[in-house]
Chains A and B, each alone.
Chain A
Amino acid sequence: MMAARQKYAAYFDRIEKDNAEIKAYRTISREQALEALVDNKSPFPVVFSDLISTRGIRTTANSRMLDNYIPPFDATVVERVRKAGGVILGKTITREFGVGETENPYGTCAAVAHGEGILGFAADHRGDIHAGAREYGLFAYSPSYGIVSRYGVIPVASSMDRVGILAGSFAKIPVAMDMVAGQDERDGTTFPGDADFQTLEDMDLQSVRPAVINGTAGFSERLNLPMAEVLLESLPYALPAHEILSSGEFATNMERYDGIGFGYRAGEYDSVEELYKKSRTAGLGREVQKKIISGNFCLSEGKYEPYYVQAMKARTMVKEEIEKRLESHEFLLAPVDLRYTAALYLAGLPVISMPFGEVGLLITSRAFNDRRLLAFAWQIVSRLESEE
């Protein structure tokens, strides 16, 4: 206990010293962390992005709107991580509500990269955590949509939002999955899915017939692994469709921030209408307001069919095409790029990314095939490590 206290005190000293420079933490929770060490047999350091609700620890979505919001409940992922011994160092910087201005879009990555052995959980809706991981040299994992609960995750684009795992080494990802994966009765969109991620099977890389999307990045050569190339013709539709659908969902998810029940409220107003307007204008940043406006545009009368419905069709098209490719190739590889992650988030597929040269390496597989995807990724990681 004493040793643990000293170790964590050292974490916090370093964090407090460096945070202004690394721009990782929005809220540092030293006191709560020291409390969490009491009777904790297997403590480990963990950070959550500020889009994930933590009971008793301020959760702001990096927004003035929620600057004073202390959730009365834990997100399911937080609850599960705390139960496993997780000691929360703090809440990390995100884009405002996952989409807006920020001092660092990859605060969670910065926190994980900054301290030894820190595990990070960050919510995102487009795969931005993989871009961050590439930048900070980390491993990132977005489990299949529906096997990690979204309960307590501040919604941005609900049908794409996921809690991703960030770590400095691959080995931490299966450990983290064992903590957080599994159906949650408070999130009706979750499923039982795989379990027991720490005993990954051996896999013969050749026989599982991996393929490279759109023939990119010379992965075959670098990995010394002959791979087929597959084309994704619908890929150009992925980002636009993602933009329209996520904006629509974002707009309605943001309606609750009206200055009435909780969050920022404008000081002076003459009517409820004015209270809404002033609170939202002052409480939300420009980019957030723009996304709300474009989302409402796409949902409004006369625009819903040509925009929203078309985007839903494009989503189905993208999803079906990727799933078709995955029928013949269990695993698909691509560089870390928002075009790919947006497509994979639209399709709800699992994504792992790892530091791999300039471009990074991203691997996906069929929905709910998380355990085999991690087994495959582990083989790739071993191969890369043995090469070095």
Chain B
Amino acid sequence: MMAKNYETVMGLEVHVELKTNTKMFCNCSTAFGGKPNEHTCPVCLGLPGATPVLNEKALDLAVTAGLATNCQIRRVGRQDRKNYFYPDLAKGFQTSQGDGPICYGGYLDIETAEGKKRIRINRIHIEEDAGKLVHEEGLGSLVDNNRAGVPLVEIVSEADLRSAEEVLAYLHKLRAILTYTGVSDARMNEGSFRCDVNLSIREAGEERFGTRVEMKNLNSFRSIQRAIEYEAARQIRTVEEGGELFQETRGFSQDSGKTYSMRTKEDAADYRFMPEPDLMPIVITEEKIRELTDGLPELPDARKDRYIEEYGLGHYDAEQLISSIELATFFEAAVSAGADPKAAANLIITDLFRLTGAEEFQVDMAPEDLAKIIEMVDTGRINLGSARKVLEIMFANPARTPENIVVEENLEQINDRELLSPIIDEVLARSAKAVREYQAGKEKALQAIIGQVMGQTRGRANPQLTIDLLREKIGWPMGPVCVRAEN
């Protein structure tokens, strides 16, 4: 039997902590960390009678998130109580929004290797965070309410995503928008950007949705990708084997790389939503919307277009660079310090990304130093391979300068024929077999010889000069060769 063709269908629910100084309904600090229950008061501890008062800044940030993602903004709304019992929920209900979210019907555009795609946003609503359970040996479970009452928005996409790559592109774009606009720090490692994935599969061409599984506790981009790949495969395998899929909530184990069932639909709580009587209706005036719209900075897509037009970058590269405000700022500073935009983009995307890891872009080195490295490549002082080495050293130790590294690590390119020629002779002398193979038409052999020269010079040989010399010494029957300065 021919294996059927399956399509993975996904929608995301992203919880984002809003960047306010104080909590949603009280004056307690939202600072990350602190001693347990240091940032609490009668309101966020849920003591009887401690009434909430909405933090206007949280509201402004939520509306800003909506405006920056092309949403409609509800002019008169309300907040609701979502009732459930959990030890980290002091009031026994979470103040959230039921069927009247503050923002709805928006979208954002993503760019993957396959091109551009529009992902619709169903809704954005405001709600408060819960506390945290801490399990202490000998003391049992304790509650830390420092996060209780921290303002959040939940951003719910439509089920428009079809691959892990699209999901990551969506998350990066969303995170870029939120950090550019100052709505959130959106740090996954501090929990200020959390993502649940709703995933189902269906046969290609089918219009109806399959049975939906919600995946929670995905706390890094890597986990999200792995969980999606595992879960899609699991669902396909289940169906192929004639099994049945259940609507359920699943967690993801980083150790095993597998998803596991947390609860089924039958266990799902009835949240008994009701209008929050302690809070007045939310009223958003036209004036407020104008004010917040005027306050929007240059958004990621506008910046991306600028990079494509002004710097001649490709769509995909430009999308990578605008994915965080820190990164884009770093890139632009390097360019204004004189770096060639394309060279800077290449070094950042291929090397700095690898060094910083996929989760967060965080570098301490100065953008001027990146410009300096690129300049040294341009002037032939170092080759590209050495440039990477300098970058790597700078990343680990930003106090050093490129100049200092090049000198102290002896990375200067060998541009002198007289110096390079004897080294090449030496390599050729002990590579008689490779030379024969090359002269017999085997191109790969030449690469091996060049590799030997690079090895001998610790990557410092000028690649062009190396080729020129080799051509003189052993002939050049093969036409142009792709030369990479590996080390």
Give A contacts to B, CB under 8 Å.
Answer: 52-53, 61, 66, 71-73, 75, 150-155, 157-159, 185-189, 248-249, 251-252, 254-258, 260-262, 272, 276, 296, 299-301, 304, 308
What are 27 A-to-B residue pairs whose CB atoms are below 8 Å? A52-B49, A73-B42, A73-B47, A73-B50, A151-B49, A151-B50, A152-B50, A153-B49, A155-B49, A157-B277, A185-B53, A188-B54, A189-B51, A189-B278, A249-B274, A252-B92, A252-B272, A254-B92, A256-B91, A260-B143, A261-B143, A262-B47, A272-B87, A300-B272, A301-B270, A304-B273, A308-B274
Name the prevailing secondary structure of the A interface residues: loop
B100 at the interface (CB under 8 A from A): no
Query: How many Cβ-Cβ contacts under 8 Å join chain A to chain B?
Result: 102
B83 at the interface (CB under 8 A from A): yes
Chain A positions within 8 Å of B48 at CB level: 53, 61, 66, 71, 154-155, 256
Query: Nearest chain-B residue to A276 (Cβ)?
Result: B85
Contact: B47 with A252, CB < 8 Å?
A: no
Contact: A188 with B53, CB < 8 Å?
A: yes
A186 touching B81 in the complex, CB below 8 Å, given contacts A252-B93, A256-B91, A260-B143: no
Known: A260-B143, A300-B272, A301-B270. 6 other contacts (CB 8 A): A71-B42, A158-B278, A185-B53, A186-B51, A187-B53, A258-B85
B338 at the interface (CB under 8 A from A): no
Name the prevailing secondary structure of the B interface residues: loop
Contact: A258 with B92, CB < 8 Å?
A: yes
Chain B positions within 8 Å of A151 at CB level: 49-51
CA distance A151 to B25 in the complex (A): 13
B449 at the interface (CB under 8 A from A): no
Chain A positions within 8 Å of B91 at CB level: 255-256
Shortest distance between the CB of B149 and any CB in chain A (Å): 14
Contact: B49 with A189, CB < 8 Å?
A: no
CA distance A154 to B143 in the complex (A): 23
Chain A positions within 8 Å of B90 at CB level: 256, 260-261
CA distance A37 to B36 in the complex (A): 38
Looking at the complex, which one of B42, B51, B273 makes contact with A187 (CB distance below 8 Å)?
B51
A188 touching B46 in the complex, CB below 8 Å, given contacts A151-B51, A255-B91, A261-B143: no
CA distance A43 to B131 in the complex (A): 43
Contact: A188 with B92, CB < 8 Å?
A: no
Chain B positions within 8 Å of A272 at CB level: 87
Q: Write out, one digit per residue, whether chain B residues 26-68 have a CB within 8 A of any chain A CB (1) or not (0).
A: 0000000000000000100111111111100000000000000
Shortest distance between the CB of B369 and any CB in chain A (Å): 50
Looking at the complex, which one of B51, B85, B87 makes contact with A188 (CB distance below 8 Å)?
B51
Interface residues of B in 269-324 (CB under 8 A from A): 270, 272-274, 277-280
Chain B positions within 8 Å of A73 at CB level: 42, 47, 50
Shortest distance between the CB of B57 and any CB in chain A (Å): 15
Interface residues of B in 257-279 (CB under 8 A from A): 270, 272-274, 277-279
Chain A positions within 8 Å of B143 at CB level: 260-261
Looking at the complex, which one of A52, A71, A249, A308 makes contact with B277 (CB distance below 8 Å)?
A249
CA distance A308 to B274 in the complex (A): 9
Contact: B92 with A256, CB < 8 Å?
A: yes
Query: Nearest chain-B residue to A253 (Cβ)?
Result: B48
Shortest distance between the CB of A62 and any CB in chain B (Å): 13
Chain A positions within 8 Å of B51 at CB level: 150-151, 186-189
Contact: B83 with A299, CB < 8 Å?
A: yes
Count class of interface residues, chain B: 20 to 34
Chain A positions within 8 Å of B46 at CB level: 256, 261
Looking at the complex, which one of A53, A248, A251, A300 makes contact with B49 (CB distance below 8 Å)?
A53
CA distance A249 to B278 in the complex (A): 10
Q: Which of A254, A255, A276, A304 has the most CB of B within 10 A?
A: A255
Chain B positions within 8 Å of A152 at CB level: 49-50
Q: Which of A52, A154, A252, A301 has the most CB of B within 10 A?
A: A252
Contact: B42 with A72, CB < 8 Å?
A: yes
Closest 10 CB pairs of A and B: A255-B92, A159-B277, A299-B272, A158-B277, A188-B53, A154-B48, A152-B49, A256-B92, A187-B51, A256-B46
CA distance A135 to B423 in the complex (A): 112
CA distance A34 to B53 in the complex (A): 35
Looking at the complex, which one of A66, A153, A255 makes contact with B93 (CB distance below 8 Å)?
A255
Contact: A188 with B83, CB < 8 Å?
A: no
Shortest distance between the CB of B160 and any CB in chain A (Å): 28
CA distance A371 to B272 in the complex (A): 40
Chain A positions within 8 Å of B272 at CB level: 251-252, 296, 299-301, 304
CA distance A61 to B81 in the complex (A): 23
Contact: B47 with A72, CB < 8 Å?
A: yes
CA distance A71 to B272 in the complex (A): 29
A188 touching B52 in the complex, CB below 8 Å, given contacts A72-B42, A256-B90: yes
Q: Which of B54, B90, B270, B272 has the most CB of A within 10 A?
A: B272
Shortest distance between the CB of A73 and any CB in chain B (Å): 5
Chain B positions within 8 Å of A188 at CB level: 51-54, 278-280
Chain A positions within 8 Å of B49 at CB level: 52-53, 71, 75, 150-155
Chain A positions within 8 Å of B42 at CB level: 71-73
A260 touching B47 in the complex, CB below 8 Å, given contacts A252-B81, A252-B272: no
CA distance A301 to B272 in the complex (A): 7
CA distance A151 to B143 in the complex (A): 25
Chain A positions within 8 Å of B93 at CB level: 252, 255
CA distance A158 to B81 in the complex (A): 12
CA distance A255 to B274 in the complex (A): 13
CA distance A189 to B278 in the complex (A): 7
Query: Nearest chain-A residue to B141 (Cβ)?
Result: A272
CA distance A261 to B47 in the complex (A): 9
Contact: A299 with B54, CB < 8 Å?
A: no
Query: Nearest chain-B residue to A154 (Cβ)?
Result: B48
CA distance A369 to B48 in the complex (A): 30
Shortest distance between the CB of A88 and any CB in chain B (Å): 16
Q: Which of B83, B85, B87, B278 has the most CB of A within 10 A?
A: B278
Query: Nearest chain-A residue to B278 (Cβ)?
Result: A158
Shortest distance between the CB of B92 and any CB in chain A (Å): 2
Query: Nearest chain-A residue to B49 (Cβ)?
Result: A152
CA distance A337 to B51 in the complex (A): 30
Shortest distance between the CB of A168 and any CB in chain B (Å): 27
Query: Nearest chain-B residue to A272 (Cβ)?
Result: B87
Chain B positions within 8 Å of A52 at CB level: 49
Q: Write out, one digit per residue, whether chain B residues 138-153 have a CB within 8 A of any chain A CB (1) or not (0).
A: 0000010000000000
Shortest distance between the CB of B343 and any CB in chain A (Å): 55
Looking at the complex, which one of B54, B85, B277 makes contact with A255 (CB distance below 8 Å)?
B85
CA distance A187 to B85 in the complex (A): 25
Interface residues of B in 64-83 (CB under 8 A from A): 81, 83
Shortest distance between the CB of A243 and any CB in chain B (Å): 15
